[in-house]
Amino acid sequence: MRLRFPRPRAVTETLRDLARRHPDEAEAYLDAHHDEWEELAESTPENAADILEALQEEGAADLLKDLDLDDAGEVLDEMRPEAAADVLETIRPSTAAALIAMMDADQAADVIGALEPDERTAVLAALDPDSAAEIHTLLVHAADTAGGMMTTDYAALPSGVSSGEAIEALRRLHDELGSNLSYVYVTDEAGHLRGVVSFRELVFARPGRSLDDVMFADPVSVTPTTDREVVAELIQRYSLFAIPVVDDNGMLVGMVKISEALEAIQAEAGEDIAVMVGAGVEETIFTPVRLSVRRRLPWITFNLVVGLVIAYVIAQFESTLAGAAVLVAYMPLVALLGGNSGAQSLAVIIRSIAMGDLPRGRAGRAIRREMMVTMIDGLAIAVLAGFMGAVTVGFFGDQSSIEPLQMAIILFVSVIVSFTVGGTVGSSIPIILRRMGQDPALASNIFLTMTTDLVSFGGFLLTASILL
């Protein structure tokens, strides 16, 4: 069979969808139609990368080795580092090194950083000394910092050069730097960053004008240790295509492209979701099973302890439950409402922190706002819950064991308390964690659930004990 479509894009999309649904069939087709695979990888390396990520590592490695080194490097550039590392670990280190040598230095560092330690050492040893040294320089920095995100392929020209000379120099650098020519950085003789010139300013400048006359002096910059959230925020705030990275002495050492900033934002969002429920901060579907188990098990064990504490609280009201067993049917309702209220506040605060909309000075104001919102919502829901409890209590048990008015009051009081506590705790946990120097999302959902369940069950049964 040979896929025939009027548009090349249709072929690419069909193969990508086939790889995601039936990877074995896609691999067999591409093995049998090598010309189509080469054309696809050359024209749209992004889609080729998607296809390889959907296949088994051995099959993906065979297809990758069938490509020209240039095309293979571009495809690897587009793959997620963890997926690319899994593929490279199935081939010889010398072949893997040859493929990595064709990648951009920053992407190559990410892939090598995702390799197993033994494989990483072997691949680095097989690289030429210059490439290995450049990658070593990038691997020194943590992945969630500007140093871990930056590329060392950037355009830098000395101050005093005319705009005409600059354009001629950039023409010579075009093949080497490619898409990294968004900005031209201006440095002094020692390499200190002095300014930046956009291509638009450079093109429209008179040929004889100096870069010093057209550059933007003292541009915003970051250091290699700057957190990726700050980098992304600065790129967004100043509408930049890239941001320069300088060392403590002001020497230009690299730049972070906007594409890396977007990936950082996505990574931060994914981390927040993971840590909220106690999963590993850097855990993905490529993380080894043993490591994932080790990261998750402590939080699951903590949940078990919390569950036992809640069970102990409920057991203290055994006589109340024995006298009105119908209360058991309504307890989860109060906990559900309180937990949902807290989760809403939690999501709003974490999002505000992540977007940089919640400076430390406004933390108290944000908590008071969430308390007000949840109290108003709680009052409305408490009235509705009390009414529904009074109406339905007769359907769930012996109506003589508890009066409708009593059920209404119990639900009204416990729902208001649960809502108020849920909103307060949900908005406070991320702020407290941030003040402690921890990730605001760190297992926050677990702490929230623990608190709202204890207050909901305990408050509900305490109110019932007083009234009955």
pLDDT digits (tens, 9 = 90+) for 106-159: 888 889 988 988 899 999 999 988 888 888 888 888 888 899 889 888 888 888
Among residues 106, 140, 174, the one where a domain terminates is 140
For residue 239, tell me if it sits in a domain.
yes
Per the domain annotation, does 306 fall within a domain? yes
Answer with the one of 86, 112, 140 that is the final residue of a domain.
140
Q: What is the CATH number of the domain that holds 233?
A: 3.10.580.10
Q: What is the pTM of this model?
A: 0.61
| Strand 183-187 versus strand 155-158 pairing type | parallel
Q: Could you report the per-residue pLDDT of 431-459, keeping only the tens digit for each?
A: 888 888 777 766 677 788 888 888 888 88
Return d(Cα 217, Cα 177) in angstroms, integer: 23
- Is 357 a domain residue? yes
Asked if residue 456 lies in contact with residue 411, where contact means CB atoms within 8 angstroms, the answer is no
Strand segments (E) across 320-413: none
**H or E segment and range at residue 340:** helix 327-354
What is the pLDDT at residue 1? Answer: 47
Helix (H) / strand (E) element for 26: namely: helix 23-32
Write the CB contacts of 80 (distance below 8 Å, at least 6 apart in sequence).
53, 286
Whether 161 and 36 map to the same domain: the answer is: no
Q: CA-CA distance, 358 to 402, in Å (whole number)?
A: 47
Closest CA to 442 of 453, 451, 454, 433: 433
In a shared domain, residues 46 and 134: yes
What domain range is 439 assigned to?
289-467
Task: Looking at the structure, tell me whether residues 360 and 458 fall in a common domain.
Answer: yes
Q: Does a structural domain hold residue 428?
A: yes
Residue 272 is predicted with a pLDDT of 58
Mark whether 103 and 171 lie in a shared domain. no
> What does the alpha-carbon distance between residue 432 and residue 450 come to, in Å, rounded to a whole number?
16
Same domain, 98 and 45: yes
Pairwise CA distance, residues 8 & 293, whole Å: 44
Beta bridge partners of 217: 195
Q: Does 282 map to a domain?
A: no
State both tokens at 365.
Answer: 């104001």
Give the residue carrying structure tokens 């870069």: 211
296 found inside a domain: yes
What's the confidence (pLDDT) of residue 303? 79
Domain count, the chain: 3
Both tokens assigned to 152: 């060392």
Residue that finishes a domain, picked among 75, 108, 140: 140
Give the type of residue at 270.
G
Q: Are 255 and 154 in contact (CB under 8 A)?
A: yes
Cα 323 from Cα 390, distance rounded (Å): 18
DSSP annotation string for 51-65: HHHHS-HHHHHHHHH
pLDDT at residue 194 in the model: 93
Residues 385 and 415 in one domain: yes
For residue 146, is it within any domain?
Answer: no
- Same domain? For 163 and 134 the reply is no
Determine the Cα–Cα distance for residues 232 and 216; give it in Å rounded to an integer: 21
The three-class DSSP label of residue 155 is strand
pLDDT for residue 122 = 92
What residues of the chain score a pLDDT lower than 70?
1-11, 174-181, 265-287, 354-356, 396-400, 441-443
Same domain? 219 vs 310: no
CB 253 within 8 A of CB 245: yes
Specify whether 381 is located in the same domain as 239. Answer: no
Regarding whether 123 and 92 lie in a shared domain, the answer is yes
**pLDDT value at residue 6:** 42
Separation of alpha carbons 115 and 86, rounded Å: 7
Q: Are 49 and 16 in contact (CB under 8 A)?
A: no
Quick one: 108 and 187 in the same domain?
no
Question: Are 319 and 379 in the same domain?
Answer: yes
